[in-house]
Structure 1
Amino acid sequence: MLRIDRSIHDQIVAHARRDHPDEACGVVAGPEGSDRPERVIEMLNAARSPTFYEFDSTEYKKVYDELWDLDEEFVVIYHSHTATEAYPSRTDITYAQWPQAHYVLVSTREADTAEFRSFRIIDGEVTEEPVEIVGADGGR
């Protein structure tokens, strides 16, 4: 299960809407080994595409090094789908390289709603997991 603060959820959705019609991408960092998403890091979609995302390699290395220095890790890796449902594509599955991460997809295909779903992707196998939104207006 992904437990995520309402403010982090809202930041991810806002990023996805802002970058539409291109796919948005980023990560949410948290303390190493904690499984607690705490800090949103919006990243540039180097592909600048409505159907594909790719982290900029220089930016990715900078973020990875920063997380290493802060004893943090990728807790969530997110991106948006602009014209399809929030479900991992074959390309998404192929590129999933962090088995401990939650892979969040946000669909912005509907102007007034955003579909927000989380998956575990391990060795090419996709498993959807429940999302619990906590904090302001999200319960708990």
Structure 2
Amino acid sequence: MLVIRADLVEEIVAHARRDHPDEACGVIAGPEGSDRPERFIPMLNSARSPTFYEFDSGDLLRLYRDMDARDEVPVVIYHSHTATEAHPSRTDIGLAQEPDAHYVLVSTRDDAEPNHTGYEFRSFRIVDGVVSEEQVEVVETYMFAHTGADDVPDNG
């Protein structure tokens, strides 16, 4: 399950709407080992396409160096679909290289209003080409269980 703060969901949706009709893309980094999305990092879709997204290789290298320096990992990798449902395409599945990441898709297509929100927001795990949709819990803040080691989210 993806547990994500409401402000991060709002950032993703705002980025998707801003870049529409092109696909938007980005990352939400979090502390290594936490599975907690914290730092919103919008990226440029270097493909500038309404049907495909691509991270600029130089930007991606800088992002990974920055995350390494901060002891972060990509907890969420997101992009938008502008004319189709929020579900990974064959291309999306082929590009998925982070087995521990949550792959979030937001659809900004005209009829994407299942909850009268004007968008569709879904999360998936993609491991070795296998796609599994997961539940999304949107919270105002993260609550933590103290384990003596690293703090872990306790939102259930």
Query: Per the shorter chain, which TM-score range?
Result: over 0.9
> Of 90, 113, 116, which aligns to 2:118?
113
Aligned residue in 1 for 2:135: 130
- Is the counterpart of residue 87 in structure 1 residue 87 in structure 2? yes
Of stretches 111-120 and 81-90 in structure 1, the one that deviates more from structure 2 is 111-120
State the SS of the aligned residue for 1:54: coil
Aligned residue in 2 for 1:97: 97
Equivalent-residue separation in structure 2 for 1:88 and 1:53 (angstroms):
12
Aligned residue in 1 for 2:11: 11
Equivalent-residue separation in structure 2 for 1:5 and 1:61 (angstroms):
27
Which segments of 5 or more consecutive residues in structure 1 lack a partner in the other structure? none
**Aligned Cα root-mean-square deviation (Å):** 1.5
Deviation beyond 4 Å, 4+ runs, structure 1: none
Deviation string, structure 1 residues 56-115 (Cα, Å, up to 9, x no partner): 011000011000000000000000000000000000000000000000000000276110
Amino acid at match of 1:9: V
Equivalent-residue separation in structure 2 for 1:101 and 1:110 (angstroms):
28
Which segments of 5 or more consecutive residues in structure 2 lack a partner in the other structure? 112-116, 142-154
Percent identical pairs in the alignment equals 67
TM-score by length of 2: 0.86
TM-score by length of 1: 0.95
